[in-house]
C-alpha cells in the first residue's frame, strides 16, 4: 500500500489488520483535505470558504444501531438496556472482518489525535475514514498531537468509519444496515452505513464515559468557560437548551462546548473543536459562532446553499433542522489554549421547559443537583418531531443518556462527591417558556437568561433573598439584575394561577414517575428529596 502524508506513525495499519489498501493518506491538514473532498466530489466550497457536506438519508445519530460488545470486560460493568444494547463478540468480529475486506483497494484517510486535554488522562485516538471530509471532521473535533507525538503514535482506541459499508442484520445481529459497534476489550469502534459525522465524536465520548470513572474522573456532556478571575463554570444541557450559546460569552474564555472531564486536576476538554447547531443562527445573538460559518476549515453539514452563487442559507431546514458546523476551537476568539480549567465555582443545569412552570433560575443543594442530574429533564415541542403535537417531557439521565455506558448513579455519585469536595454551587436555569406552556406563553428572552447567568457567575445572585418553590422544592431568587421580578416567580407570570398549579402538578408527577427507576440505587439523602416539599 502506498502511504503519504506530512507525518506517518510508525505503528502502521498492517498491525491493525488492514491489507491491500490502495492509498493511505496520513494526518493531512485542512487545506489538503478540502482539496481531496472537492477532487472526490464529496463536498462543495461555499462563497465564504466553508466546506458544505451532505450526509444523505442519515441527518442525525442512529441510536437504535449502536451496540456494545458483551464480553468478560463489559458484561458486569455496562448498564445493559435500550440504550446500551449488547452484541456478541463473534458478531462484532464478523462485521470487523467484512469491513476490512470492504476497504481493500480503496483510499483511506487517517487522523491520529488525542481525546482529552489533561495529559495524564488523554486517550490516543486513531480515526480511519473512507471520505476526506470525515477526516477533516476528526481533525477539527479532536486534539492535534505534535509531529514527534505523531511519529511515535500508538492508538489507545481506533475508529473505522465507512459510510459505504453496510452491515447484514440477519447474520451479524445488527438492527439495520447501519452499525455503530464498540468493543472496549479490542479498543475498537466500527461505524458503517451512515455519513453523519457526529457518530465519530459521540462514539469516543461513549468510550471516555466508560473508561474515566475508573480513574475517579466524572465525564460530562457539558460546556465549560472561565472568567477573568479564574472562576470556571460548567453548563449541562440537552440539545436545544442553549448549552453552546450561553457558554460562548465574549467576557469569558471558552474551554469547550460539549464534552469535558472533572478530575483531580480540575476540568478538561475532551475535544479540540466544536460541533454547533446552526439552524437559524443569528449574527446578532451568537456572533462568535456565526463567524465560524464564514471561515475556511469549517465543515457545514446539510446546510442549504445556492449552487450558482454558493451563498448559504442558515434559515433553510429543508434537509433537516439538525444542521451543524464543525470547526476548530481556536476559531472562537476567546477560546482556551490549554483546554483546561480549575475546579468549577458554579454548575448550571439548563432545561427548556415547554410546560412553562419551572422557575427561570433556582439554586440547588448537592442532593437536588444529583436528583436533577439523574433526571436530565427538558421538553420537546410541537413541530420539532413527527407526531409531537403537545409539549412532551424528555428525561435523559446525566444530560446525555445515549452516551453513558455505566449505570447512571456511577456518574451522579461522582458529581455529588466533586461538588462537596470543591464547594461548587449548582443552579437550574430554565431557557424554555414563561407565562404559559408552548403555544400560550413566550420563550424566555435570551437577554434575561444571559442576565441570570451573569448574576450567577459574578456571585450577586447568591447574595439575595430566596423563597422555596411550592411544587419543585427549589430555592428561587426574588430579584436578579436585568430581569423583571415577576418573571422570576413562574406562577406570577401566568394570567391564570389555577392553570399554573395544575400544569406544575402534572410536570412534578412526571419527575416522580421517572425518578422511581433510580430510587433503589441512591442513598436516603437523595431518596428523601420530594419534588413537592
Residue 520, CA distances (Å) to 369, 410, 424, 428, 527 in order: 18, 13, 26, 25, 8
Known catalytic membership, residue 61: yes
Known catalytic membership, residue 243: yes
Torsion of CA 162, 163, 168, 172, to 10 degrees: 40
Buried b (16+ CB within 10 A) or exposed e, 207-216: bbbbbbbeee
Neighbours of 384 (CB within 10 A): 12
Known catalytic membership, residue 201: no
By three-state DSSP, how is residue 95 classified?
A: helix
* CA dihedral sign of residues 321, 327, 329, 330: negative
Cell numbers linked to 384: 420539532
Task: Report whether 111 contacts 150 (CB < 8 A).
Answer: no
Kindly name the residue from 25, 32, 61, 126 that is annotated as catalytic. Answer: 61
Known catalytic membership, residue 221: yes
Kindly name the residue from 77, 239, 365, 460 that is annotated as catalytic. Answer: 239
Known catalytic membership, residue 244: yes
Residue 7 burial by Cβ neighbours in a 10 Å radius (0-12, 13-18, 19+)? middle
Task: Report whether 307 contacts 352 (CB < 8 A).
Answer: no
Neighbours of 305 (CB within 10 A): 19
By three-state DSSP, how is residue 188 classified?
A: strand
Known catalytic membership, residue 66: no
Known catalytic membership, residue 324: yes
Rounded CA-CA distance 124/157 in Å is 6
Rounded CA-CA distance 374/120 in Å is 28
Kindly name the residue from 98, 134, 201, 221 that is annotated as catalytic. Answer: 221
Entry field: residues in the chain: 533
Task: Report whether 263 contacts 224 (CB < 8 A).
Answer: no
* CA dihedral sign of residues 59, 61, 62, 67: positive
Rounded CA-CA distance 107/91 in Å is 26
Kindly name the residue from 65, 258, 353, 469 that is annotated as catalytic. Answer: 258
Kindly name the residue from 74, 241, 244, 253 that is annotated as catalytic. Answer: 244
Rounded CA-CA distance 325/137 in Å is 10
Known catalytic membership, residue 62: no
Rounded CA-CA distance 472/359 in Å is 9
Rounded CA-CA distance 259/266 in Å is 14
Which positions are catalytic? 61, 202, 221, 239, 243-244, 258, 324
Amino acid at each position: 500500500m502506498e502511504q503519504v502524508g506530512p507525518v506517518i506513525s510508525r505503528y502502521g495499519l498492517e498491525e491493525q489488520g488492514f491489507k491491500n489498501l490502495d492509498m493511505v493518506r496520513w494526518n493531512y491538514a485542512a487545506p489538503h483535505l478540502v482539496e481531496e473532498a472537492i477532487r472526490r466530489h464529496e463536498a462543495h466550497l461555499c462563497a465564504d470558504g466553508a466546506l458544505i457536506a451532505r450526509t444523505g438519508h442519515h441527518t442525525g445519530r442512529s441510536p437504535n444501531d449502536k451496540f456494545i460488545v458483551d464480553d468478560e470486560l463489559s458484561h458486569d460493568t455496562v448498564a445493559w438496556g435500550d440504550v446500551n444494547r449488547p452484541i456478541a463478540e463473534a458478531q462484532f468480529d464478523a462485521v470487523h472482518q467484512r469491513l476490512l475486506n470492504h476497504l481493500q483497494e480503496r483510499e483511506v484517510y487517517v487522523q491520529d489525535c488525542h481525546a482529552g486535554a489533561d495529559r495524564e488522562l488523554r486517550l490516543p485516538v486513531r480515526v480511519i475514514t473512507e471520505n476526506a471530509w470525515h477526516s477533516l471532521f476528526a481533525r477539527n473535533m479532536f486534539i492535534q498531537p505534535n509531529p514527534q507525538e505523531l511519529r511515535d503514535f500508538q492508538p489507545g482506541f481506533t475508529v473505522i468509519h465507512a459510510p459505504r459499508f453496510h452491515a447484514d442484520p440477519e447474520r451479524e445481529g445488527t438492527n439495520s444496515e447501519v452499525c455503530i459497534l464498540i468493543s472496549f476489550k479490542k479498543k475498537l469502534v466500527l461505524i458503517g452505513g451512515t455519513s453523519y459525522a457526529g457518530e465519530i465524536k459521540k462514539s469516543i465520548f461513549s468510550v471516555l464515559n466508560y473508561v474515566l470513572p475508573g480513574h475517579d474522573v466524572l465525564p460530562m456532556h457539558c460546556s465549560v468557560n472561565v472568567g477573568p478571575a479564574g472562576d470556571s463554570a460548567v453548563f449541562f444541557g440537552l440539545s436545544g437548551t442553549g448549552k453552546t450559546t450561553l457558554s460562548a460569552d465574549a467576557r469569558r474564555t471558552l474551554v469547550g462546548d460539549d464534552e469535558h472531564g472533572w478530575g483531580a486536576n480540575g476540568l478538561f476538554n475532551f475535544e479540540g473543536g466544536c460541533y454547533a447547531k446552526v439552524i437559524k443562527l443569528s449574527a446578532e445573538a451568537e456572533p462568535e459562532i456565526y463567524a465560524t460559518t464564514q471561515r475556511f476549515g469549517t465543515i457545514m453539514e446539510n446546510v442549504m446553499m445556492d449552487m450558482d452563487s454558493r451563498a448559504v442559507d442558515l434559515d433553510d431546514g429543508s434537509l433537516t433542522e439538525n444542521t451543524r458546523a464543525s470547526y476548530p476551537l481556536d476559531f472562537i476568539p476567546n477560546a482556551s489554549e490549554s483546554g483546561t480549567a480549575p475546579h468549577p465555582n458554579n454548575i448550571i443545569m439548563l432545561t427548556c421547559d415547554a410546560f412553562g412552570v419551572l422557575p427561570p433560575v433556582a439554586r440547588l443543594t448537592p442532593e437536588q443537583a444529583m436528583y436533577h442530574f439523574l433526571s436530565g429533564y427538558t421538553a420537546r415541542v410541537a413541530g420539532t418531531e413527527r407526531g409531537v403535537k403537545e409539549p412532551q417531557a424528555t428525561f435523559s439521565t446525566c444530560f446525555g443518556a445515549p452516551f453513558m455506558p455505566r449505570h447512571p448513579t456511577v456518574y451522579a455519585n461522582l458529581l455529588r462527591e466533586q461538588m462537596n469536595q470543591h464547594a461548587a454551587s449548582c443552579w437550574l436555569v430554565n431557557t424554555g417558556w414563561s407565562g404559559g406552556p408552548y403555544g400560550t406563553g413566550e420563550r424566555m428572552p435570551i437577554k434575561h437568561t444571559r442576565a441570570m447567568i451573569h448574576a450567577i457567575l459574578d456571585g450577586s445572585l447568591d447574595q439575595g433573598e430566596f423563597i422555596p418553590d411550592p411544587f419543585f422544592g427549589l430555592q428561587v431568587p426574588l430579584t436578579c439584575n436585568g430581569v423583571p421580578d415577576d418573571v422570576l416567580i413562574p406562577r406570577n407570570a401566568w394570567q391564570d394561577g389555577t392553570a399554573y398549579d395544575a400544569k406544575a402538578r402534572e410536570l412534578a408527577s412526571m419527575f416522580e414517575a421517572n425518578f422511581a427507576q433510580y430510587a433503589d440505587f441512591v442513598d436516603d439523602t437523595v431518596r428523601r428529596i420530594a419534588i413537592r416539599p
